[in-house]
């Protein structure tokens, strides 16, 4: 009887199309209402957001450079802001308090970076390090970076490589001064950083390969920093409307061929070194007395040869007991990561620092006076002098505060988070606006002013270090995904600046809208892209300060 009663409604529906339609409308209405209520409930829990448009979301509100657009929007919307870039949901953190909560309380949920179509091409899929998922391979590479690849011992051993690059830069400036010519410092500093980093990666690289790498690094930076509709507008995915994917494939093929050539040179050098060591030991074996210490002599001979980064990577790849087995693609992806991530950022920081000093002659005078007192005029300042040059280091910190090379730290959430009472769903891109935090008046007195004194003894920021522990000052990021090259940057870059201002007086040669001279203000506009660089080339006229000039004699 019950079964018959259950069949009656279904029989009525089957026999009466009107009833069936009404039931269908009712079901659709209920489902739609539930979805709408659920959607409104989720939206209500999301962080506040500005007004958006269909399909493109908030893309119409963004202008390059993006970190400035985020800063302006956040000043109106709030320190934790939800935006939608096409189909991609994002949150922007603009204060130290929000960054602290994200990193200290939710770092496990934001330990990955979003991977764009172009980035995936250059990262050899998932073989790279910079954009690799937070897994065993990434953790192994991070430990390897901090302990060996970019650890203090390796950085110190490779100091002569960086010193040679700095001396080449100084000699080029001295030659230009002798001819009465100006120097395009933007181009010269990019060449210095490219060459130095490539030589640190592989000391056996021929000069022609270093030149080719410089061109490719520039192409990679442009492609990675370009806005790609494929990454944000769902209906455009796979169409490659801008041709960026095709260009990335071409540049990647050229870069891959270059890295293969670098690897070939390194493999030949390592094989020659092995044969030399074996010949030494074999010669010792002919003498019974020498045979006893043949193994120790082999170790001593190997120890006297300083390993570059590629040697370390190849040693790990050959180590059968290693926790993670490195493949050739892992090595190639790491080389591209290091060269592309370190070259433009290093050059940009030295250029910003030099430009700020030229715009603030009183600060430049203090740096020069400190160098004259500590280093003198008989030799050129080196990385070993930095601990005795506090005002120079304060100048570097102040430049990092105002012009962080990576103004946005970008992460991706892997699980739902509650931040400041708001819900951040999984697969949300998280932007931490490092640029905003360095200019927050809640932490910095006169935040827009260039004042290195704030980092000196007695200053408000005395003892503040840019290593990620202080969220109002984190130019290298913070937490697990902080920049592994931070230690190298803190040594190499201020030493380059020290050598430049110790050896030369600099005058602007082509300032925008001004005449040539030492007192003309330099345009400090920013370029577009992921790296915060100056928009206009820095063209300067050098005049030697030291006589004789140590870089030449």
Nearest to residue 444, comparing CAs of 453, 531, 102?
453
pLDDT tens digits, one per residue of 517-533 = 555 789 999 998 888 99
Sequence-separated (6 or more) residues with CB below 8 Å from residue 318: none
Confidence (pLDDT) at 32:
44
Q: Is the model more confident about 28 or about 531?
A: 531
CB atoms within 10 A of CB 96: 21
Phi–psi pair at 284, nearest 5 degrees: -70, -30
% of the chain at pLDDT higher than 70: 85
The pLDDT-based confidence of 516 (bands split at 50, 70, 90) is low
High-pLDDT (> 90) share of the chain, % = 68
Distance CA 241, CA 417 (A): 35
pLDDT higher than 70, residue 272:
yes
Residue 529 or 73, more confident? 73
Q: How confident is the model at residue 40 (pLDDT cuts 50, 70, 90)?
A: very low
Least trusted range by pLDDT, from 420-424, 478-482, 544-548: 544-548
> pLDDT tens digit string along 455-478?
999 999 999 999 999 999 999 999
Average of per-residue pLDDT across 38-64: 82
pLDDT greater at residue 18 or residue 103 = 103
Residue 114 predicted with pLDDT over 70: yes
Is the pLDDT higher at 306 or at 376? 376
Q: Coil, strand or helix: which one is 422?
A: strand
Residue 283: pLDDT band by 50, 70, 90 thresholds? Answer: low
- Long-range (24+ apart) CB contacts under 8 A made by 418-421 are 419/47, 419/80, 419/91, 419/98, 419/101, 419/102, 419/105, 419/106, 420/47, 420/79, 420/80, 420/98, 420/101
Q: What would the two tokens of residue 497 be? A: 């600046």
On whether the CB atoms of residues 276 and 270 are closer than 8 A, the answer is: no
- C-alpha–C-alpha distance, residues 148 and 102, integer Å: 29
Average pLDDT, the chain: 87
What pLDDT, on a 0 to 100 scale, did the predictor assign at position 517? 53
Nearest-5° angle of CA 452, CA 491, CA 215? 105
For residues 103-111, give the mean pLDDT: 95
User: What is the predicted pLDDT for the residue at 6?
Assistant: 40
Q: Is the pLDDT of residue 298 over 80?
A: no
Asked if 82 contacts 46 with a C-beta cutoff of 8 angstroms, the reply is yes
pLDDT digits (tens, 9 = 90+) for 154-209: 999 999 999 999 999 999 999 999 999 999 999 999 999 999 999 999 987 777 77
What CA–CA distance (Å, rounded) separates 254 from 65?
A: 29
pLDDT for the residue numbered 553: 40
Instruction: State residue 550's pLDDT score.
Output: 75
Give the mean pLDDT of 502-520.
69
- Mean pLDDT, residues 207-214 taken together: 78
* Terminal C-alpha separation, the chain: 110
* CB atoms near residue 474 (< 10 Å): 26
52: confidence class by pLDDT, cuts 50, 70, 90: very high
More confident residue, 359 or 281: 359
pLDDT band at 300 (very low <50, low <70, confident <90, very high): very low
Q: Which two tokens stand for residue 550?
A: 């140590």
Q: Give the DSSP H or E segment for 506.
A: strand 504-508
Segment holding 398, helix H or strand E: helix 390-402
Predicted confidence band at 44 (pLDDT cuts at 50, 70, 90)? low
- Max distance between CA atoms of the chain, in angstroms, equals 113
pLDDT of residue 529: 80
User: How many whole angstroms separate alpha carbon 70 and alpha carbon 435?
Assistant: 10
Q: Note the pLDDT of residue 514.
A: 43
The confidence band for 510, taking pLDDT boundaries of 50, 70 and 90, is low
**Is residue 141's pLDDT more than 90?**
yes
Which pLDDT does position 305 carry in this prediction?
59
What DSSP state is assigned to residue 148?
I
Mean pLDDT in residue range 389-393: 98
Q: How much is the pLDDT for 432?
A: 98
* Other Cβ atoms closer than 10 A to 450: 18
């Amino acid at each position: 009887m019950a079964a018959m009663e259950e069949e009656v409604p279904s029989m009525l529906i089957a026999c009466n199309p009107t009833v069936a339609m009404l039931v269908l409308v009712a079901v659709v209405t209920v489902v739609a209402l539930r979805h709408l209520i659920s959607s409104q409930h989720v939206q209500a829990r999301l962080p506040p957001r500005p007004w958006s448009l269909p399909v493109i979301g908030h893309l119409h509100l963004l202008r390059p450079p993006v970190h400035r657009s985020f800063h302006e929007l956040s000043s109106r919307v709030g320190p934790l802001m939800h935006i939608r870039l096409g189909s991609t949901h994002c949150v922007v953190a603009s204060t130290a308090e929000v960054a602290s909560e994200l990193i200290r309380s939710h770092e496990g949920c934001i330990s990955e970076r979003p991977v764009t179509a172009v980035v995936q091409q250059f990262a050899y899929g998932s073989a790279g390090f910079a954009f690799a998922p937070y897994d065993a391979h990434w953790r192994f590479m991070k430990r390897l970076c901090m302990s060996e690849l970019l650890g203090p011992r390796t950085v110190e051993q490779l100091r002569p490589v960086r010193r040679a690059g700095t001396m080449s830069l100084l000699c080029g400036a001295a030659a230009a001064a002798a001819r009465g010519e100006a120097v395009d410092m933007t181009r010269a500093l990019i060449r210095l950083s490219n060459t130095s980093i490539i030589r640190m990666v592989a000391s056996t690289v021929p000069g022609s390969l270093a030149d080719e790498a410089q061109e490719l690094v520039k192409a990679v930076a442009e492609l990675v920093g370009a806005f790609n509709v494929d990454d944000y507008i769902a209906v455009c995915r796979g169409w490659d409307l801008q041709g960026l994917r095709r260009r990335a494939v071409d540049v990647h093929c050229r870069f891959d061929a270059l890295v293969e050539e670098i690897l070939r040179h390194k493999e030949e050098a390592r094989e020659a070194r092995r044969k030399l060591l074996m010949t030494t030991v074999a010669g010792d074996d002919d003498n019974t007395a020498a045979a006893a210490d043949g193994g120790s002599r082999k170790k001593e001979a190997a120890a006297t040869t300083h390993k570059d980064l590629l040697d370390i990577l190849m040693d790990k790849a050959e180590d059968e007991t290693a926790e993670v087995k490195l493949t050739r693609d892992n090595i190639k992806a790491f080389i591209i990561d290091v060269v592309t991530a370190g070259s433009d950022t290093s050059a940009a920081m030295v250029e910003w620092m030099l430009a700020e000093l030229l715009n603030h002659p009183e600060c430049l005078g203090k740096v020069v006076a400190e160098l004259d007192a500590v280093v003198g005029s008989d030799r050129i300042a080196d990385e070993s002098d930095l601990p005795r040059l506090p005002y120079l280091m304060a100048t570097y910190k102040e430049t990092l505060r105002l012009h962080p090379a990576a103004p946005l730290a970008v992460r991706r959430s892997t699980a739902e988070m509650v931040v400041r009472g708001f819900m951040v769903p999984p697969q949300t891109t998280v932007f931490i606006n490092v640029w905003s935090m360095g200019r927050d008046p809640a932490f910095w007195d006169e935040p827009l002013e260039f004042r290195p004194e704030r980092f000196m003894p007695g200053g408000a920021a005395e003892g503040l270090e840019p290593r990620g522990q202080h969220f109002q000052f984190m130019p290298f990021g913070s937490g697990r995904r902080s920049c592994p090259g931070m230690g190298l940057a803190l040594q190499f870059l201020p030493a380059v600046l020290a050598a430049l201002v110790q050896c030369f007086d600099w005058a602007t040669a082509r300032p925008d809208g001004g005449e040539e001279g030492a007192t003309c203000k330099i345009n400090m506009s920013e370029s577009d892209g992921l790296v915060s660089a100056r928009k206009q080339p820095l063209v300067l006229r050098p005049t030697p300060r030291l006589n004789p000039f140590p870089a030449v004699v």
